[in-house]
Amino acid sequence: MKDPYDTTRVVFVPLLMVGISLYWVTVAWHRFVILDEQPSGILPKLHLGQVWGYIWRLLVLVIAIGFVTGLPLALLSSLFGAGGKINFADYSASLAHGPLAVGLNVIGTTIFSYAFLRYSPFLVGAAVGRPISAAAGREETYWARKDIFILAIGYAVVALIHGLIGGGLQFGFWPIDLCIALALQWITFMFSISLLTTLYQKSVAYYEDGGAALWHDGSASGHDQENDKSNADFYSRWKD
């Protein structure tokens, strides 16, 4: 009889290694951009403590936002006969249940994306060794709430378009299809972590030195003067 633990190891160990590698890159990218931490060789330095902290915070954030957002929408979906399934950024199930299910999924994806971005400094702070609470992360991104909402809508629309075209980018030859899928996933991954990094830079790191308008390399911030003043006032009130 086959040992079930062998199957578990075969599946779990590679997934664990892929997960650690993925968030190794994520943490290294945050630290490279924000702290100007350069790799000592071909590979970036592995900050295992920050990687585990990042993964733990990510799980907490995704579960909390998913529960608060998904449960009410799933109940509405069930009440109105729309299938009762809300899969953020995945429209494969909702497309089979008509426009109402799709609309609820768009709303759910938008809300989830907006909340995740608002709380994202909670993640990035752990990566750069300056952890902050989730509530503080939300307050730090208050100034960008309108821009974040637009980004969240855009993400929901892009996810919907991807769901509608389905396998439109597949050529029927698995090596090419695999390369396309990996390339798209890598582009999405790098865009996502770059967005989180930028939000942290413009929200938390930018004001950690009392609202100074310069980064570690002495270059000027991208904020305009009006936003500089309002955001500095907000930051000083929060710190007090």
Domain boundaries of the chain, sorted by first residue: 4-169
Highest mean pLDDT among 30-39, 40-49, 57-66: 57-66
Greater confidence (166 vs 105) lies with 105
What residues contact 167, with CB distance under 8 A and at least 6 apart?
none
What single-letter DSSP state applies at residue 94?
Answer: G
Question: Hey, what are 156's tokens?
Answer: 């929901």
pLDDT over 70 at 193, yes or no:
yes
Question: Hey, what are 172's tokens?
Answer: 């029927």
Which pLDDT belongs to residue 123? 95
Greater confidence (62 vs 177) lies with 62
Greater confidence (227 vs 150) lies with 150
Mean pLDDT of the chain: 77
Which pLDDT belongs to residue 10? 62
Coil, helix or strand at residue 214: strand
With b for 16 or more beta-carbon neighbours within 10 A and e for fewer, the 153-170 pattern comes to eebbeebbebbeeeeeee
Task: Give dist(CA 90, CA 28) in Å, integer.
Answer: 28
Greater confidence (121 vs 79) lies with 121
Greater confidence (163 vs 124) lies with 124
